Amino acid sequence: MDRILDYAVPDDLGDGVAPGALVVCPLGPRRVLGVVVDRAPPTHAGRLVPLAGVVAGPPIPAELLDLARWMARYYLAPVAACLRMVLPPGGGGSLRRTGDGGWDLVAPPAPRERLVARLGDGARAGSPRRRAVADELGRRGGALPAAELCRVAATTMATLRAMGEEGALELVRESAPPDALTSAGGVAPARDAAPVLTPEQSAATAAIAAAMAGDGGPLLLHGVTGSGKTEVYLDAIEGARRSGRGSIVLVPEIALTPQLLGRLRARLGTRVAIWHSALTPAERAAEHRRVREGEADVVLGARSAVFAPVPRLGLIIVDEEHDPSYKQDGSPRYDARQVAARRARDAGAAVVYGSATPRPEAWHALTRHSLPRRADGSALPTVEIVDMRLQGAGPVSRPLARALHEAAARGEKAIVLASRRGFSLMALCRGCGWIARCPDCDVALVQHERPRRLACHHCGHEEPVPGVCPSCHAAEIARQGTGSQGVEASLRRLVPAMRIVRMDGSSASGRGAVARLLEEFARPGPAILLGTQMVAKGHDLPDVTVAAAVDADAPLQFAGFRSEERAFSLIVQLAGRAGRRGEPARVIVQAYEPQARAVQLGARHAVEEFLAGEVDRRRAHLLPPFSHLTRVVVDGESPEAVAAASAALASAVRDAAPAVAVLGPAPLHRLRGRTRRALLLQAPRASEMTGPLRDVLSEHDAALRRAGVRAVVDVDPQET
């Protein structure tokens, strides 16, 4: 709902109805949760519906109420969606009448149970394929969450159920074990002592202290992994605490940084709360209460922790500030980095953005502090670039295969990063793993849909998509991305001695999944951690002596204005993952465009040179931070309606705001049967653009609805 509704305040509710209070609003026959944003004098109260009640519990703090309303304006987002970000836990649940005639919120129950497969007695019977599933389960201790078994054994739930009926295995519901990350409070750990800071670290902490005292704006802390950024954060948090103020620490993905929580607790004690999407409602409510009441004065979490109700906020830290996950990919499309800046400004707090590979806008606009060396004195690893045009077919080059063999022989581990490449999809048998290959080139054929066929992107060979698998005759041919799955098949063939742990969006979702995968990888013996960007993020893994990117220049295939920096930061971040603690390491970067600037400079860790060039390029093209962008995607089922609506919006914005450059409407790929067109708006200041756009959209609202067309607005888009 994008509107603010007026209600009358019955006398008996009186003072409870103040801005920020949660109230019960009659809406037709329903009772819905509302947030009071303002109280006005009772002018036309006689004609208004009265509120039905006030919800028990503390109101939303004024600071967060203001922040939510600012977000709604800045991002052109529905007020309700923004208010939802600052609601206490349970805000998504339902209203309940209490015994004494009041109201409270019932949080939705969490799915805490999961299906676990256990090896049964009949395990040796059945088809070879089912035997293979049972063997896999046996190798992994005889019990595994069913979803995980499906993944590791490349099978389906249907197969597991059938095996369950045969008695080959048993499927049981079990409650998920508590996750180490989610046990709030816990045992007080031994206090770590702080090291003596280097002069560079001290300069950074002094600047943060000054900003906290109201003297200085946001800061950029630039340093490679291991250069001592976290020690600066810890010192700054302790400084905030000494002056009675709280801190928020944002990380891209909390499950990937368990050791950061450990370090925070080891240094700061148990007054550290975590803000985690996988918390159960009860855990979340407990953490929320600890924070609101000041019992915990440090909050660690992903994006949404920027809304934590920390009283007397003194410091916000945004670690790995270059990470795209800080931008929410759904309503409200807020950027936690931007929200952090705004919240810190209003609270008189300091904000620190940390990264080894900052975004050009941060590099240009913020006061910069660099930590030039790793604290343990270790050198950055040498990066080898492999020109894939000179290699055979297949995603794994000879130098990489050799490096992996050597690591396997020494019992060491490797990280292999496989970004998704373009839109290539291959035909794969879910039953046996067979992949359709070109008879001439031995590369996976790419599946096309219109007309439906398989094609080789090397030589142009074409053939029909088979109905059943030529290898095992199963009718389970699926279209599969050539991303990490394709690479996994090659690695299994080339280095069978290495255990492969795959970590990507699908395998790493769900409570505790990432922690389990990391544990599995850390088990003794040679292993490969294979996955998308995730594997290059902040965790600190021992024994990793090879770090490789199979398609380091994949981001360059996209036309977006951040493609270069994505490719660059991937390479630099990956290099930072290997060879810590002085172990010799090899970093191998495979590229189809090895001479690309991002690849060359990334391999040399030439951050300053790269970013200086990017800032120049952005200035020349008037891209952020030299302008603000807003993207409007118009979509609908009828191509004609989408074309007409997007053209009408474009000309209306041009008329309403001559200072705004309007690009497009440009056609986009169809998505789920809907035609899409995009407008890109560019203006020196965001408000010059969003103000007129808001007016235009509300004028066109009824017409868009009639035409069955939607317009989705993305302010400060990450891609264009």
Q: What residues make contact with Zn ion under the rule CB under 5 A?
A: 429, 431-432, 434, 438, 440-441, 456, 458-459, 461, 469, 471-472
Q: Which of 215, 251, 111, 571 is nearest to 382 (CA)?
A: 571
Query: Cβ 523 to Zn ion, closest distance in Å?
Result: 30
Pairing of strands 103-106, 53-54: unpaired
Q: Kindly state whether residue 675 participates in binding ligand ADP, applying the rule CB under 6 A.
A: no
Q: Kindly state whether residue 378 participates in binding ligand ADP, applying the rule CB under 6 A.
A: no
Q: Kindly state whether residue 283 participates in binding ligand ADP, applying the rule CB under 6 A.
A: no
Cβ within 8 Å of residue 153, ≥6 positions away: 132, 133, 136, 137
* Residue 227 touches which member of Zn ion, ligand ADP, none, C-beta under 5-8 Å by kind: ligand ADP
Distance CA 243, CA 314 (A): 9
Q: What is the CA radius of gyration of the chain?
A: 27
* Residue 171 touches which member of Zn ion, ligand ADP, none, C-beta under 5-8 Å by kind: none
Q: Tell me, what amino acid is at 4?
A: I
- Which residue lies nearer to Zn ion by CB, 357 or 485? 485
Q: Kindly state whether residue 231 participates in binding ligand ADP, applying the rule CB under 6 A.
A: yes
The helix (H) or strand (E) run that includes residue 585 is none
Beta strands in 439-559 (DSSP E): 446-448, 453-455, 462-463, 477-481, 499-503, 527-531, 544-549
16 neighbors 55 (Cβ within 8 angstroms) = no
Preceding peptide of 625 cis, ω within 30°: yes
**Size of site (CB under 6 A) for ligand ADP:** 15
Query: Cβ 224 to ligand ADP, closest distance in Å?
Result: 7
Please, is 265 exposed, middle or buried when counting C-beta atoms within 10 Å of its C-beta (0-12, 13-18, 19+)?
Answer: buried
- Torsions phi, psi of 423, nearest 5? -115, 15
- Which residue lies nearer to Zn ion by CB, 286 or 429? 429
Please, is 157 exposed, middle or buried when counting C-beta atoms within 10 Å of its C-beta (0-12, 13-18, 19+)?
Answer: middle
Tokens of 79: 């007020």
CA of 170: how far to CAs of 128, 150, 513, 679, 711, in Å?
19, 14, 22, 54, 49
Interface residue with ligand ADP, options 225, 484, 600, 675 (CB under 6 A)? 225
Instruction: Look up tokens 């000179």; give the residue.
Output: 390
Q: Kindly state whether residue 226 participates in binding ligand ADP, applying the rule CB under 6 A.
A: yes
Residues 189-218 that bind ligand ADP (CB under 6 A): 195-198, 201
Residue span binding ligand ADP (CB under 6 A) among the ranges 107-115, 225-233, 289-297, 695-703: 225-233
The helix (H) or strand (E) run that includes residue 497 is none
- Which residue lies nearer to ligand ADP by CB, 168 or 578? 578
Q: Kindly state whether residue 34 participates in binding ligand ADP, applying the rule CB under 6 A.
A: no
Query: Cβ 439 to Zn ion, closest distance in Å?
Result: 7
The helix (H) or strand (E) run that includes residue 302 is none
Instruction: Work out the angle between the directed axes of helices 686-706 and 62-74 (0-180°, nearest 10).
Output: 70
- Which residue lies nearer to ligand ADP by CB, 38 or 376? 376
Q: Kindly state whether residue 223 participates in binding ligand ADP, applying the rule CB under 6 A.
A: yes
Query: Cβ 457 to Zn ion, closest distance in Å?
Result: 8
Query: Cβ 443 to Zn ion, closest distance in Å?
Result: 6
- Which residue lies nearer to ligand ADP by CB, 228 or 594? 228
- Which residue lies nearer to ligand ADP by CB, 375 or 643? 375
* Residue 230 touches which member of ligand ADP, Zn ion, none, C-beta under 5-8 Å by kind: ligand ADP
* Residue 469 touches which member of ligand ADP, Zn ion, none, C-beta under 5-8 Å by kind: Zn ion
**DSSP label at residue 586:** E
* Residue 375 touches which member of ligand ADP, Zn ion, none, C-beta under 5-8 Å by kind: ligand ADP
Residue span binding ligand ADP (CB under 6 A) among the ranges 147-155, 221-229, 320-328, 456-464: 221-229
- Which residue lies nearer to ligand ADP by CB, 48 or 197? 197
Instruction: Work out the angle between the directed axes of helices 157-166 and 128-139 (0-180°, nearest 10).
Output: 90
Helix, strand, coil percentages, rounded to 5, for the chain? 35, 25, 40
- Which residue lies nearer to Zn ion by CB, 436 or 645? 436
Query: Cβ 572 to ligand ADP, closest distance in Å?
Result: 13
What residues line the site for ligand ADP (CB under 6 A)? 195-198, 201, 223, 225-231, 375-376
